[in-house]
Amino acid sequence: MGNAIIKVNNLVKKYGDFEAVKGISFDVMEGEIFGLLGPNGAGKTTTLEIIETLRKKTSGEIIVDGKNLDNEPQAIKNIIGVQLQAAGYYPLLNLKQIIELFSGLYNKNVNALELLDTVNLREKAKSKFKELSGGQKQRFSIATTLINQPKIIFLDEPTTGLDPQARRNLWELIKDLRSRGATVVITTHYMDEAEELCERVAIIDSGQIIALSSPSELIDKLLATGFKRPKAVKEANLEDVFLNMTGKEWRDE
């Protein structure tokens, strides 16, 4: 991990009089999985969508892969992968056709079935988006971020609503994207997920970054204050029972 592929400097976003993002600064390093954590309404999606060129900032500077967002938004769009909003999943097209449509728009030559393979959805190539289960929809939405072979992938709560195995399988998929060289920026409300996936996390609260470090360093810092978690009474929990009984394979086919 070497260079900062995203630089955010003093970013402010106001909605009318309300300041949702209050001058935050952070770097995302090339090749890392970087997490944005924080309570509902903290400003995570706003921050992501500004970097993705989908929302206008009020002030501040953003550089993505050496390109200034103010001058070269299109160049930034070309190298990032963003989950399509549901409206992008044309209801009359099947999954393969949607991928082919977008590859055409991006001017990329993508093998739709191979791409569906990477998210374990080849069997559903002829299905419509609305016919998919929740987990399959999330996986398809991740596949759509890969169509333009991006350097940076943005995932906004990609595992919300998924069952425990499906979440773990998506974690493997996200790690796989990183091992193929992508940088991943992810928001999540699941701290186990952030701990498992992220090299570094920024914790945002009320529009400000209140911590930025690796999960392990943040935990050590808390422990150094004398914090002790109440001891678990049993050495397994209900999630362990669930996973042990239902297995770890993709199950929603």
CA–CA distance, 99 with 110 (Å, rounded to integer): 8
191 vs 223 by CB, closer to ligand ATP: 191
Six-digit token pair at 228?
Answer: 């002790």
Name the one range near ligand ATP by CB under 6 A: 34-42, 65-73, 165-173, 194-202.
34-42
Strands (E), 3-151: 4-15, 18-29, 33-37, 59-64, 67-68, 80-82
Judged by CB, which is closer to ligand ATP: 42, or 62?
A: 42
Q: 190 vs 250, which CB is nearer to ligand ATP?
A: 190
| Structure-block tokens of residue 51 | 């970097």
Q: How far is the CB of 42 from ligand ATP (least distance, A)?
A: 4
E-state strands within the chain: 4-15, 18-29, 33-37, 59-64, 67-68, 80-82, 152-156, 183-187, 200-205, 208-213
15 binds ligand ATP (CB under 6 A): yes
Please, which residue, 41 or 104, has the CB nearer to ligand ATP? Answer: 41
Q: Which tokens in the block code for residue 115? A: 């791409």
Residue 35 binds ligand ATP (CB under 6 A): no
Can you say how many angstroms the Cα of residue 116 is from the centroid of all Cα atoms in its chain? 18
Q: How far is the CB of 210 from ligand ATP (least distance, A)?
A: 13
Number of chain positions touching ligand ATP (CB under 6 A): 10
Give the residue, chosen from 6, 8, 20, 146, that forms a contact with ligand ATP under the rule CB under 6 A.
20
Tell which positions 39-58 bind ligand ATP, by CB under 6 A.
40-46
**Residue ranges in 141-200 that form contacts with ligand ATP under rule CB under 6 A:** none
Q: Write down the least CB distance from residue 35 to ligand ATP, Å.
A: 12
Whole-number Å distance between alpha carbons of 104 and 127? 20
Q: 184, 153 in Cβ contact below 8 A?
A: yes
Taking the alpha carbons of 184, 188, 191, 196 in that order, is the dihedral positive or negative?
negative
Cβ-based nearer residue to ligand ATP, 61 or 205: 205
List interacting residues with ligand ATP (CB under 6 A): 15, 20, 38, 40-46
